[in-house]
Structure 1
């Protein structure tokens, strides 16, 4: 995995046309360096979900520019021919719910994505087990999702998000269903993974338990971002 980071300049998204048009993003500027975890905070309806979908190449912005490292992926139009490949190989997703496949064991849940990308089964499973070991759930490698605790399921979901070695991870409320101890454990893991693999990670959150851990925070309100320094609280 090579550190690339992500850059956003003047990103806009308009839904609809004419008098009924809604400007969900009005000119977002944001930069996340390789190995960095930043928080994205804002009230409901502020544009967080729209921004995450644009970053994840799920929806197309209306204007602006996005880069992965030196690679321009959007500049008033997509500059990438295969958006599915971009999402699969360059952007990892961690959601509020783990969304594990119930009829696959832990290893196969993590290994499935690289297998679909053409990685040989043995190599895909080796990558999966390496990440499960790093995330302290290797002892559950053969367990089915229903046999896992909530914290274990979220760790497996993080492993799945990292397994294709993407330079960017988008985490949408990853600690919302967890208690304080498990929430801080997830943030510790994301920080460790960011440093180890030079991954740029954006965490969308309302969770006051984890906000003090960010060194940088982007607030989004009415479709515009404002940056501030965070506390950068060390997690024991």
Structure 2
């Protein structure tokens, strides 16, 4: 009998693994709608969809290992990171998906709201929050929309040797800022940015990637805390925010 592994679970969704099948249970059918459509449109490897019976989406496991996990050094080779960069570039150059992406005004309003919550609850020193809010401001400008994954965490990119075998979890895919994907993939792994950009291309804006590191970490902290995750674990979001204090 196959064991049932709980991959992730919180009040919004849960993902279970049974053998080589992942069962994604989501109370909002719109998330699965976007995931299915995005995987169909994406020009890079994605997991096969086995079946869908709302609220459950069943997908097959992809071969290989995740590029890494947040809070631990990535064991993937520089060539694997470069291959990931090339895959992300191919995605960003693909035709835009036909649904709306994040609005700049909404991103700015969400950032201000999350910073206010962090200050009120004193989960970090005020100077850390204010310093990162200032850095994050650079990302709040009109962007040329690209086809982005939208949640390109390091655990969502799988490689086998130096080859990308699949990218998972597409429910946040939309037209958006390409630098957001690059920042999300290297969050907490800033030392691998050069490897990633070796495959993506040298025209990536490092200052904007740096701004999105701050913005994503500020924006995610409350959700993580309220859903039982720890942004203060070593190498995670709070360490990313604290590291900005060491910069000129």
Q: TM-score, normalised by structure 2?
A: 0.27
Name the structure, 1 or 2, with higher relative contact order (CA <8 Å, separation 6+).
Answer: 1
Q: TM-score, normalised by structure 1?
A: 0.28
Structure (1/2) with the larger helix percentage: 2
